[in-house]
Amino acid sequence: MRSMLNRRGFISAGAAVAAGVAVPGLSGCGVLGGDESDPDTLVLHSQLGGTAPGSATFRAVLDTFRKENPGLRVKSLVNGDELGQVYETSRLAHKEADVVMVNLYDKTVSWTGLGATVAMNGYLDDWGLRKRILPAALTEWTDEKGRLRALPYIASNWPVAFNRAAMHQAGVEEIPLTGDALIAAARKLRAKGTAPVTIGGNDWTGQKLLAQIIQSFLAAPQAKKLYSTGDFSGIKGAREGIEYFVELRDAGVFTDKAQGLTTDSMTTQFNTGAAAMESAMSSALARVPDQVAAHTEVGGWPLPSGAVHPKPTILRTFTVSGFWVSPNGTKKIETVEKFVRFMYRPDVIARFVSEGGRDMAVRTDTLSDGFPLVAKAQKLGDSVSQVVLPDLYVPPSAVQPMIQATSTAFTPGTSARRIISALEGAYRNA
Amino acid sequence: MATTQLRKSAPGKPRFRKSWLPAHMLVWAYAVLLAIPLYYFLASAFKSNEAIFSSPLSPPTSFGFGNFRTAFESAGLGSAIVNSGLVTVFSLALTLGLAIPAAFGLARSRGRVASLVEKVFSLGFLIPTFAALFPTFLLSAVTGLFHTRLFMVLFLPATAMPLSVVILIQFMRTIPQEMEEAARIDGASTFGVLRHIYTPMCMPGIATVLLLNFLTFWNEYLYSLIIIGPDPDLRTVQVALPTLKSQIGTDYGVLTAGTILTLVPVWIMYTLLQRRMQQALVSGAVKM
């Protein structure tokens, strides 16, 4: 019996398979690998993909940019939460994208200091963007050594949304402005079977609300010090803030099992009318269904007596997304400049506001009229007080432990002392 | 008593005894328990976030393919499925091309070296996937294959070799020595023995290796994310799918629809190979 495929045939077949294996790899080589030095190819890396808020607008303006620059090839890379990890490994291999659009949070806080991206101070004036960007945004994106980490782009208001229809059904006619009014409203809502305040106690939304409530007795400088050091038992006002949080929680202000909920469950509870209030970013408000949005007002978080703020508080941040330039990007800085200047054009900014329902860290007169709650939040102005967003001050290694500590805080029966211990532990173990 | 029952039952038809009722109830309850998540998964693909969370088990009000279309377009699943297909098919070809001859050689050898080599293959199970990530990343960077699919095509078979070789060795050892001797008398070369005796007789084992590795390669996420990266022209389906997830709020209807789309090739592959694999499992030849 002779083999139909002899040794020579086998070797030929093996070579064919090897060649076949090489084909997809070779077709892939150069798409990223060769582009970092090609001045006519721009590689962008962002989280604006899939169904993320504003991603459709981003895709549309990219198409416009491509049409206006036919000689330029624009490649858009998209990652979700794992963008930081992917960018960092790409940077280690010197194959990172030219421009990164990501928020200033967690790992990215230290990127400029580590050389993963370049300081943007010089480009800000060279590209004539200083007057376009809000000064407060520039301050937020500048590190302690005066380096502008990235060019600020997308911002966010973070008000409290009140479903007036659900509140009316429970006999609550006024938006609560004080802690006592909030507790009274919560009792009435619960009696009607409606959850008062929904919150993702097991993720970053819970962390932000806890941080906001703690700041009831803290002025901005103290809050910055608190979140930088994690000294929750030593800084005056932090303990009182945590005790206020415990008082609200034990009075049933937060939805049941809040310690296990996430952003998705929070927005769904509010969007379906199962809960009457939520503390939400404006991008989440853009997704509130019309029938709920029609009866929803936005405002601030009610304050206890003795609070240091004159009006109910909200969070505002300019750090949702910015343009970070990588070392590879500096090698074709003219191309990067062309893209960035295009993105700051008033018509492009207006599209993000009106079509994408996003708040911008850029001067613009456009309002998100197609997104009524986003527009209402944009108009809040000085009718609310603003507290510090902790993202810039919490050390990156303490961010995730802080979220775990937050879940502990939302767990019924946890004392203020234990919450302080959990929060301080997050800093100690990080 | 038993005789009476036997007389009452129709010939050839299994009798239903009342004493079996609890067992039947338990089996059906277990089946329903398994079916509920599957139903929830399928139904969610046709629902909005609000419907998924507010009434998770209610049937969808419409069976439109809007979520599927959104998932396919916004995550670029078309090219991602092609990329996953390329990486998986070439990796499987390379795995089989290396594992079958290796298992053949080891199964027929009786020496100490062969025994040692076989044990070395088994040691491969002890290496945790995550532990190899950084050295693998460095290797891809040094070889200039970072951000290519070629590296994954070369790397995935290396990770699959221990399991593949160990399974195939067990199959090949069940083939009687006389079969090879008869082939040799007929003038078959060593390669001829592999080609005409061992390979056809090991088809259930090869199908098992194919199916297990297909699932592993198709579902591989971490290395594909880091090594191939997020380029839409290159990324695999497991890297494309999470782009439907957002920190600010995920549309679970779209995400579930996208997940179903990525499962279609798995379902096709399982349908094609399931009989062979079941045959292999029933024969007791898979020693795991």
pLDDT interval class at A20 (50, 70, 90): low
Give residue B12's pLDDT.
Answer: 58
What is the length of chain A? 430
Q: What's the whole-number mean pLDDT along residues A185-204?
A: 95
pLDDT attached to residue B216:
94
3-state secondary structure of B139: helix
The pLDDT confidence band at residue A268, using thresholds 50, 70 and 90, is confident
Whether A304 and A326 have beta carbons less than 8 Å apart is answered as: no
Contact yes or no for A260/A201 (Cβ under 8 A): yes
- In 3D, which of B86, B26, B7 has the Cα closest to residue A24? B86
Q: Are B151 and B140 in contact (CB under 8 A)?
A: yes
pLDDT at B15: 66
CB–CB contact B248 A289 (8 Å): no
**Residue pair A343/A153 in contact by the 8 Å Cβ criterion:** yes
Q: Which among B94, B191, B252 has the least Cβ separation from residue A21?
A: B94
Amino acid letter, residue A243: E
Tokens of A90: 């790409």
> Is residue A317 scored above 60 in pLDDT?
yes
What residue in A sits closest to B82 (Cα-Cα)?
A: A24
A93: contact with B, CB 8 A cutoff: yes
**Where does the pLDDT of residue A107 fall: very low under 50, low under 70, confident under 90, or very high at 90 and above?**
confident
A284 to chain B, any CB pair closer than 8 A? The answer is yes
**Cα angle A334-B230-B73, degrees, rounded to a multiple of 5:** 100
* pLDDT single digits (tens) A136-170: 999 999 998 999 999 999 999 899 999 999 999 99
Q: How many CB atoms lie within 10 A of CB B286?
A: 18
Angle, to 10 degrees, between the axis of helix A204-214 and the axis of helix A399-410? 80
> What average pLDDT does range A119-138 have in this prediction?
95
In A, which residues are within 8 Å of B54 by CB distance? 268, 272, 274
For residue B88, give the 3-state DSSP assignment. Answer: helix
Contacts of B83 in chain A (CB under 8 A): 24
| pLDDT on residue B50 | 80
Paired strand residues for A322: A102, A152
State the best of A35, A89, A157 to mutate against chain B, taking most chain B CBs within 10 Å.
Answer: A89
**N-to-C CA span, chain A:** 69
Range with lowest mean pLDDT among A91-100, B37-46, B124-133: B124-133
Average pLDDT of chain A to the nearest whole number: 89
- Chain A: nearest CA to B72, how far in angstroms? 9
Query: Sorting pLDDT into bands at 50, 70 and 90, what band is B121?
Result: confident
Q: Is the model's pLDDT at A38 over the cut of 90?
A: no
Contacts of B183 in chain A (CB under 8 A): 1
Contact between B244 and B258 (Cβ < 8 Å): yes
For residue B286, the model assigns a pLDDT of 47
Distances (CA, A) of B275 to B163, B203, B205: 20, 11, 12
- Using CA coordinates, name the residue in chain B closest to A75: B231
* Locus of tokens 């039952």: B9
Residue of B87, B196, B230 with shortest CB distance to A3: B196
Determine which of A32, A35, A99 to mutate to test the interface with B (most B C-beta atoms within 10 Å): A32
pLDDT tens readout for residues B83-114:
999 999 999 999 999 999 999 999 988 889 98
Residue B72 contacts A where some CB pair is shorter than 8 Å: no
- Measured CA to CA, the distance from residue B167 to residue B207 in angstroms comes to 11
Q: What is the pLDDT of residue A1?
A: 43
Amino acid at A257: K
Distances (CA, A) of B140 to B90, B154, B185: 18, 10, 48
Going by C-beta distance under 8 Å and a sequence separation of 6 or more, which residues neighbour residue B219?
A: B238, B266
**Residue A364 CB burial class (10 angstroms; 0-12, 13-18, ≥19):** middle
Q: Determine the average pLDDT of the residues in A55-84.
A: 93
Is B81's Cβ below 8 Å from some Cβ in A? no
Query: What are A207's two structure tokens?
Result: 């962390």
User: Residues B51, B54, B56, B59: is their CA dihedral positive or negative?
Assistant: negative
For residue B45, the 8-state DSSP code is: T
Partners of A264 on chain B (C-beta within 8 Å) are: 49, 53, 249-250, 252
What pLDDT digit, counting tens, does each position of B52-88 carry?
887 889 999 989 999 999 999 989 999 999 999 999 9
pLDDT, one tens digit per residue, over A370-422 is 899 999 998 898 999 999 999 889 988 898 899 889 999 999 999 999 999 99
Rg (CA), chain B: 25
C-alpha distances in Å from residue A187, one per residue of A190, A195, A273: 5, 10, 17
pLDDT value at A224 more than 80: yes
- Which of chain B's residues have a Cβ under 8 Å away from the Cβ of A22? 150
Residue A283's pLDDT is 85
| Residues in a beta bridge with A317 | A156
pLDDT at A39: 79
CA atoms of A422 and A405, how far apart (whole Å): 5
pLDDT for the residue B58: 92
Q: Is A77 exposed, middle or buried (0-12, 13-18, 19+ CB in 10 A)?
A: buried
CB contact under 8 A, B49 and A6: no
- Is residue B242 within 8 angstroms of chain A, CB to CB? yes
Nearest CA of chain B to the CA of A200: how many Å? 11
pLDDT value of residue A4: 44
Give the list of residues 6+ apart from residue A247 with CB closer than 8 angstroms, or none.
Answer: A179, A183, A304
Tokens at residue B246, please?
A: 């957002």
Q: What is the 3-state secondary structure (H, E, C) of chain A?
A: CCCCCCHHHHHHHHHHHHHHHHHHHHHHCCCCCCHHHCCCEEEEEECCCCCCCCHHHHHHHHHHHHHHCCCCEEEEEECCCCHHHHHHHHHHCCCCCCEEEECCCHHHHHHHHHCCCCCCHHHHHHCCCCCCECHHHHHHHECCCCCECCEEEEEEEECEEEEHHHHHHCCCCCCCCEHHHHHHHHHHHHHCCCEEEECCCCCHHHHHHHHHHHHHHCCHHHHHHHHHHCCCCCCCCHHHHHHHHHHHHHCCCECCCHHHCCHHHHHHHHHCCCEEEEECCHHHHCCCCHHHHCCEEEECECECCCCCCCCCEEEEEEEEEEEEECHHHHCCHHHHHHHHHHHCCHHHHHHHHHCCCCEECECCCCCCCCCHHHHHHHCCHHHCEEECCHHHCCCHHHHHHHHHHHHHHHCCCCCHHHHHHHHHHHHHHC
Q: pLDDT digit string (tens) for B236-246?
A: 999 999 988 87
What band does A332 get if pLDDT is binned at 50, 70 and 90?
very high
In this prediction, residue B154 has a pLDDT band, given cuts at 50, 70 and 90, of very high
DSSP letter for B262, please. Answer: H
Distance of CA A39 to the CA centre of its chain: 31
Q: Is the pLDDT of residue A27 over 50?
A: no
Helix (H) or strand (E) holding B8: helix B2-8
Q: What does the pLDDT read at residue A13?
A: 52
- Cα separation, A276 vs A368, in Å, equals 23
Q: Distances in Å between the alpha carbon of A366 and those of A54, A156, A346, A372?
A: 15, 15, 9, 13
Amino acid at B278: Q
Judged against a pLDDT cut of 60, whether residue A346 lies above it is answered with yes
Inform me whether the C-beta atom of residue A131 falls under 8 Å from chain B C-beta atoms: no
When pLDDT is averaged across residues A73-90 and rounded to a whole number, the result is 92
Quote the pLDDT of residue B225. 95
Q: For residue B244, which residues of chain A lie inside 8 Å, CB to CB?
A: 50-51
User: Do the Cβ atoms of A76 and B53 come within 8 Å?
Assistant: no
Query: Taking residues B19-27, what's their average pLDDT?
Result: 90
Q: pLDDT at position A396, please?
A: 84
**Cβ distance A176 to A302 under 8 Å?**
yes
